[in-house]
């Protein structure tokens, strides 16, 4: 199924969808607006002719100085057909944001955290949007093209955790007890 056929099928199941077929060498690619992302994603997962049940990756792209500035690419796989699809969403602004798709594809949880951490794109409604790859005290988003390069900045590191043998054994006992309580 090519991108034009996917858009034609989407138009029958998502009222008022505005999607555009984009040229791509490797897989069909469609562009949707941020506000329509949840409806399009749910249709791509649930409609029997699509069944894109696997979200493989979410990739952020800083297109600075382009407008809109950011692309967010969702790479999907339909395991029953098999087929692949790229869904592209463009966002702009100093504080870019798009809706989360964690309710549609739970795998989006960590992937959205990664894109937020590195690009600063907020995923509205994400249940746990916090740093993933950079330390908690990191300032800014390092994959933005306007991120300041600090070649002479001192290296930040944290001291390794030091504990006595007694503390280590107490942690093991506590861990075993908590696992018994979960069972």
CATH number for the domain including 117? 3.30.460.80
Q: How many domains does the chain have?
A: 1
- How much is the pLDDT for 183? 56
**Tokens of residue 2, six digits:** 């090519």
Q: Which pLDDT band holds residue 150 (cuts at 50, 70, 90)? A: low
Q: Which pLDDT band holds residue 93 (cuts at 50, 70, 90)? A: confident
* Helix-helix angle 37-46:3-13, to 10 degrees: 100
Taking only the tens place, the pLDDT of each residue in 27-74 is 999 999 999 999 999 999 999 989 999 999 999 999 999 999 999 999
Average pLDDT, the chain: 90
| Tokens 């001291």, residue located | 159
> CB under 8 Å to 32, separation ≥6 — which residues?
17, 18, 19, 40, 87, 88, 89
Residue range of the domain that includes 65: 3-182
Identify the residue with better confidence: 151 or 162. Answer: 162
pLDDT > 70? residue 154: no
């Amino acid at each position: 199924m090519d991108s034009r056929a996917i858009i034609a099928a989407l138009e029958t199941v998502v009222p008022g969808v505005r999607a555009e077929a984009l040229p791509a060498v490797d897989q069909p690619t469609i562009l949707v607006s941020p506000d329509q992302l949840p409806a399009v994603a749910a249709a791509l997962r649930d409609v029997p002719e699509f069944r894109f049940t696997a979200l493989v990756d979410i990739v952020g792209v800083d297109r600075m100085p382009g407008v809109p500035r950011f692309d967010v690419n969702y790479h999907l796989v339909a395991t029953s057909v098999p087929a692949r699809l790229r869904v592209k969403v463009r966002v702009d602004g100093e504080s870019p944001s798009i809706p989360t798709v964690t309710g549609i594809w739970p795998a989006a949880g960590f992937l959205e955290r990664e894109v937020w951490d590195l690009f600063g794109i907020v995923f509205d409604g994400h249940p746990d949007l916090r740093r993933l790859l950079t330390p908690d005290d990191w300032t800014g988003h390092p994959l933005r093209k306007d991120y300041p390069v600090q070649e002479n900045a001192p290296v930040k590191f944290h001291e390794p955790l030091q504990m006595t043998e007694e503390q280590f054994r107490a942690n093991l006992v506590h861990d075993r007890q908590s696992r018994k309580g979960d069972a």
